Each structure stands twice: as structure tokens, then as C-alpha cells.
Amino acid sequence: MVGMSGKRGNGEGSIYPYKNGYAAYVWVTKPDGKRARKYAYGKTREEVHEKWLNLHAEAKRGPVATRHPTVGAFLSYWLDSVVKPNLAPLSYVSYEGSVRLYIAPHLGSKRLDRLTVRDVREWLTKLSTVCQCCAQGKDEKREPSRRRCCAVGECCESYPSRRVVQAARDALRAALTHAVAEELINKNVASLVKVPKPRRRRIKPWSVAEASQFLTDAAARDDHLFAAWVLVLCLGLRRGEVLGLTWKSVDFQRGELYVDHQIQRAGRQILHRETKTEDSDDFLPLPALCLKALRMRRAQQIGDRKAAGELWQNSHDLVFTTKYGTPIEPGNLTRMFALRARRARLREIPLRNTRHTCSSLLVALKVHPKVAQRILRHSQIAMTMEVYAEASEEEVRAAIGKLSDVMGGAG
């Protein structure tokens, strides 16, 4: 408190007239351990005195930053020094896109310590009504003769989806969490703002008959990716896991598959990297159909290698490659799956949706429940037996019989 003489105690700072109002400062310890003055400004002495008291309380709690970066400057630092060295490449690509396209253009110039819950809420409300074709100049980047919407004054109203808005909010929240940890701000204002969750489209998975029809068509056409579709449908492998398989992962003697790598597209790179967690790594038993499909695939690849000659370049010894031995683009596998489904006259489902067909297909293939339990990662055999009890017999037997005939009696 101020003494009777009007002077403050040593280290307390002072309030004085400044421009059209008043200013005050408090001596604080910065995060780097050095001492410095931190200033507060206001129109009245009372207003500045209130701010001075708050500054004083903040200085007693711990280190105080005297210079605050803008949101844009902090986000650049966070991406380069925190995200890039410590997180997966795909996380960096996702965060960087959210920052560059959706956060920085709206909030980048604001001071980090002055960002409020209201700022974040207003930004999110505005973001969902900003045409991204206009904002990113997508139509402008086309050849003048091919411009058809925003660049010629006919806004195409390409608004960000709920999923995009949620991803942008999540990126800001992750960055501000780090700002709190570095003691640049006291609270994470982005975590206090709720965003509507994107609605999930419920897609009915393929039945065993549909899955068998798909595989029968692929086998009949000698599809180079037949073994990939078998692994996706029978073992429930994800797209990246199938594309990341190496021949070292396949043990033909023991009839097992080790899933520990994946192929991912991260910006302009295709990466062959380890699966996200050690829990994802697993020795999966291979049913007879999978073993036969992988043997067929090996024979196909040997043929491809001979045909390619010196152009062959399978550096990772991948199971599924292009005809020159290079990794298959994850996006291309998705497109190929949709194309194959149309060709087999089936309704299209997303590639990731095939995981739901896996359990009933294992029943149809007469895979032993104990083996199915390991493939489905069920902790209790009772869960697996429930799946087995639900399988319908007649059409399943007919569908699997057709597939078996095409493959020369396998499975």
C-alpha cells in the first residue's frame, strides 16, 4: 500500500500522469529470470490503480512476460519449435493448414495475452460464413479462361464444413495450451468455446454376400490388389497399415502377419513410418484365404519386377506396390476401391467402413473362434461367440462357395 508520504515501497513501482490519462509500472521477474518493469495504462487514476494491483498480484504468483507476441507470431513459433520436432508429420500438416488458412487471417494480428473468449467465439461464427474459394483465391488461381465463380463475381459459397471449423478450433486450443505451459497467458480461451460436433453419416456396412461378390469379381479379373482387399475385409486392416506391410511382416510358415508400419501422405511426402502406438502392433493369425491371396500377390510382384527390370525400386520391400515397385498413394487406394466396387455392381461404401464386415466374414470363412478373437482384438471370447451366433447360414455359404471356386478351391 501507499504510505502517508505518498511514496511506494521499494520494488512496488509507481503511478503517474501519462498522455491523456495515467500509467503505472511494477517490477516483475520475467520467464528468463531477469528483472524488468511491466506497464499498465488507463484514462483515470482509479482504473490504473486497479490494473497496478492486478499486476502486483500476478508478479507475486510467478514469472511474468513483459512482451507479448501476436497470435500469428506465437503460432509460427509453436508450429516450428513445438509441433514439427515433436509430433507426427501428419499432425504438423493438419495444424499448419488450420493455422495458415483459418486462424492467422482472422486472429493473427491480435496480441496473444489480449485474446478473449468472445474473440474466439466471434471468429468461429464468422469462419463458418466465409467462402473459402474467395478467401483463398482458389478460382483466381485458375487460368483466366477457366474461371467460373468467385473470380468472376459469382460467389460459389464454399463455406468450411463443421469438421473444418472444429479442426481449426482444436488447433488454436492446442497452441494456447502450450502458451499457458510457457506462462505467456493465464488461461486457454479456446477451450472455453464449444463448437457443434460434426454429424457422422451412418453407412450400412457390406454384408458377407456383398463382400464375397466384391472379392469374387477382383479374383476373376486377376486384380493386383486382390490380396489388399482380402486383408482389409478379413483382418480389418486400415488403409495405411495394408500399404505399409513389408514381406518381412508376413510369416508364411506360422501363418501370421505382423502389423507395425503404415504408409501416410503428409503434404508433399509419402512416408513409411511406424504405427501410432505399440498397441497397434500385433501378430495377427492369417486365415487360409489370406495366406493364399498373399502367395498369389508374391507371384504377381515377382512378375512385375522382371517386367520392370532396372526401373524397379522397392526400397522398403513393400507387399503392395505400383508396377515399378514404388509405394501406392493412400488416396489412390481409396479411389481404386470405389472403382472396383462399381465394377462389381455393388453400392459404394468408404474403404474404412469395411472393418465392420470383417467379423461376419470370418464366421463365413469358418475361421476358428479363438483365431477370430485375436483378429477382432476381443478381450473376451464371449464377445466373439456373439458375432458367431448372428451369422446367417444359407446365402453366406453360397457366396463363399463362389469365391472359393474362382480362387481354385481356396478358403
CB-CB contact of 248 with 317 (8 Å): yes
pLDDT at 308: 87
3-state secondary structure of 285: strand
- The reply to whether 71-192 and 208-406 are identical in fold is no
Measured distance CA(358)–CA(292) in Å, rounded: 18
Cβ 26 vs Cβ 12: under 8 Å: yes
* Size (the chain), residues: 411
What backbone torsions phi and psi does residue 3 show, to the nearest 5 degrees? -75, 175
Q: What is the pLDDT of residue 389?
A: 52
* Residue 244 phi, psi dihedral angles, 5° rounding: -90, -5
Instruction: Give me the pLDDT at residue 202, please.
Output: 76
Q: How crowded is residue 201: how many other Cβ atoms within 10 Å of its Cβ?
A: 7
- Which residue bears the cell 459404394? 348
| Nearest one of 322, 288, 327 to 410, comparing CA atoms | 288
How many Cα atoms occupy the beta-carbon half-sphere of 46 within 13 Å? 0
| Alpha carbons 313 and 95: distance in angstroms, whole number | 33
**Cross-strand bridge partners of residue 268:** none
Extents of the domains making up the chain: 14-61, 71-192, 208-406
Q: Each residue of 323-347: b (16+ CB within 10 Å) or e?
A: eebbbbebeebeebbeebbeebebe
- The CATH number given to 71-192 is 1.10.150.130
Give the CA radius of gyration of the chain: 30
Report d(CA 64, CA 388) in Å as an integer: 63
Question: What are the two backbone dihedrals, phi and then psi, of residue 16, each rounded to the nearest 5 degrees?
Answer: -150, 155
C-alpha cell at 91: 499432425
- The span from the CA of 82 to the CA of 181, in Å, is 12
pLDDT by residue, tens only, the chain of 411 residues: 444 444 454 444 578 888 888 999 888 887 677 888 888 888 888 888 988 888 888 888 877 766 678 999 999 999 999 998 988 877 888 899 999 999 999 999 999 988 999 999 999 999 999 999 999 988 888 898 888 899 888 899 899 988 899 999 999 999 999 998 887 888 999 999 988 777 777 778 888 888 888 999 998 888 999 999 999 888 888 888 888 888 998 999 988 888 877 766 766 666 666 655 444 446 788 888 889 999 999 999 999 999 988 898 887 888 999 998 888 888 899 999 999 999 999 998 888 878 777 777 777 777 777 777 776 666 666 665 655 555 555 555 666 666 666 666 544
DSSP 276: S
CATH, domain range 208-406: 1.10.443.10
pLDDT at 190: 93
Q: In the numeric block, which cell numbers belong to residue 17?
A: 500522469
Helix ranges (DSSP H) in 41-159: 45-61, 71-78, 84-86, 89-98, 104-107, 117-127, 132-135
In the sheet that 14-18 helps form, which strands lie side by side, from edge to edge?
Answer: 14-18, 21-29, 35-42
E strand segments, 133-276: 250-251, 256-259, 261-266, 269-274
Distances (CA, A) of 13 to 2, 8, 25, 63, 298: 11, 7, 5, 17, 78
Task: Return the pLDDT at 360.
Answer: 72
